[in-house]
Structures are given as structure tokens and as C-alpha cells.
Amino acid sequence: RKEVEQDPGPFNVPEGATVAFNCTYSNSASQSFFWYRQDCRKEPKLLMSVYSSGNEDGRFTAQLNRASQYISLLIRDSKLSDSATYLCVVTSGGSYIPTFGRGTSLIVHP
Amino acid sequence: NAGVTQTPKFRVLKTGQSMTLLCAQDMNHEYMYWYRQDPGMGLRLIHYSVGEGTTAKGEVPDGYNVSRLKKQNFLLGLESAAPSQTSVYFCASRPRQGGQPQHFGDGTRLSIL
């Protein structure tokens, strides 16, 4: 089982839709969780950190479920500009090395 | 407000040539990383450093060397470039304290002919 798994998609949704991605992780000692956005051939950019109580930033909501070992990202009112690959990143306590998922591709169409 | 800066942005090499990619960060971060990303694939860690003068191997270190002589700089060297090293290379840095995200440079696109 891979340490961090994501559905590669693509998720193809119309503008205005709500879409959610999940990311599962295998190491129960994982302590830090992030969602990054990566546009084609560009660098990954931090979208948001994921906190235990869940957190929201505008149209984006992140949740952590430690019992089931997954994090989620919900995007409301999708925009064309949300089209990108969304990377899940997990770091275990005491580890120097974050573990990246392969990413979920989102395509928002008119 | 530079953050993480990579040079060069693009480079074309012939097989067997050598070159060095430079990563510089102005955020006083202790940890620095070099990744490669190939089409349709995720990020793969080449080497990383947890402080000035220290380096360690990542997932795909073969064919690469690194140095961290100054805290703000992390150099990635290709001694004898091979076509299999054609890729996009990303550098990242983050602070030592736990729970902090990585910050990425905008990448170096390298083609080996």
C-alpha cells in the first residue's frame, strides 16, 4: 500500500459545482497535512494546511479524519481557474521528508 | 520577497556534459530539498539537506550530487548528464519547526540530448 494515495481523476465538473477529493495515508504517526495546487508544468503552491478541527479558506474546506486516516478537500462554486492538479502532502512526526500523493486532476468546464 | 529562487530556468545539455543547478532561499529555512518531476508522474525526492554542511539521499539520488555550503543555497550537480535526466527539477525549503509547509521554486526545465 502506498503511503499517500489519491484518486488521479480527472474530475470533470461544470462551473459552479461542488467537488470533493480524498487522500488516504498509511502512517498513523502522521502529524502534518497540506493541500497543494499544481498547474501544468508549474511549481506546487500551498493551497492550505489541514488542521484537526477542519478549516476553511473562502470556497475551500479541508478536513482531517485521523480515525480513518484520510484528509479531504472540498471546493464550492468551482471556477474555471480551479482547473489544476491537487496534491496531498503528509509528514510524520520527526520526519524531515514530506510524502506527496500523485495528485488529483480537476477540470472545470463552462 | 523572493522566497525560493532557482537558476537557470531552462537548459539544454548534450549527453555527458556536466552542470549545476542553483537553489537559493531567503527565508532562513533549515531544510532544503531537490525533486524531479516527469510527465504524468509525481514528485520524486533526489536529495535533501537538514542544515548547512549536511546532505542526504532521497528516493532517486543516482547520477546526482549536492552541496550545502551555505544555509541559503542548495546546489544540485549532474556530473555526466544522461537523457534519462531530462526532467523538471524543483527545489523546496521549509523551516525546522514541525508542522510547516514547504515552499517551492518555480523549477528548472532540463533537456539532455
pLDDT digits (tens, 9 = 90+) for B8-66: 999 999 999 999 999 999 999 999 999 999 988 889 999 999 999 999 999 999 999 99
Amino acid B106: pLDDT = 96
C-alpha cell of residue A78: 468551482
Query: Would you write out chain A's pLDDT as a tens digit for each of its 110 residues?
Result: 678 999 999 999 999 999 999 999 998 888 899 999 999 989 999 999 999 899 999 999 999 999 999 999 999 999 999 999 999 999 987 788 999 999 999 999 99
User: Residue A20: in which H helix or E strand, if any?
Assistant: strand A19-25
What does the block give as the cell for B76?
Answer: 544540485
Q: Residue B98 — very low, low, confident or very high, per pLDDT cuts 50/70/90?
A: confident
Which of B102, B110, B111 is best to mutate for the A interface (most A CBs within 10 A)? B102
Tell me how far apart the alpha carbons of residues B95 and A17 are, in angstroms, rounded to a whole number: 37
One-letter amino acid at A46 equals L
Distance CA A91, CA B99 (A): 8
Contact by Cβ (8 Å): A8, A102: yes
Residue B77: its H or E element? strand B73-78
pLDDT at B67 over 80: yes
Please name the member of A43, A49, A103 whose beta carbon is closest to the beta carbon of B104: A43
The whole-angstrom separation of Cα A105 and Cα B41 is 12
DSSP code at position A39: -
Contacts of B63 (CB under 8 A, 6+ apart): B78, B79, B80, B82, B84, B85
The distance of B79 to chain A (nearest Cα, Å) reads 25
Chain A positions touching B43 (Cβ under 8 A) are: 44, 87, 100
B70-88 residue pLDDT tens: 999 999 999 999 999 999 9
State the pairing for strand pair A11-14/A104-109.
Answer: parallel
Q: Are B78 and B85 in contact (CB under 8 A)?
A: yes
Collapsing DSSP to helix, strand or coil, B70 comes out as: coil
| CB proximity under 8 Å: A 23-62 to B | 31-32, 34, 36, 41-46, 49
* Chain A nearest C-alpha distance from B15 (Å): 23
Residues in chain A: 110
Q: Do B104 and A45 touch (CB under 8 A)?
A: yes
CB-CB neighbors (< 8 A) of A102 in chain B:
41-42
Task: Judge whether residue B1 has pLDDT over 80.
Answer: no
**What number of C-beta contacts closer than 8 Å exist between A and B?**
48
Q: Which amino acid is at A91?
A: T
CB atoms within 10 A of CB B79: 12
Residues A43 and A37: their CA atoms lie apart, in Å, by 9
Q: Find residues 57-86 of chain A whose CB sits inside 8 Å of chain B.
A: none
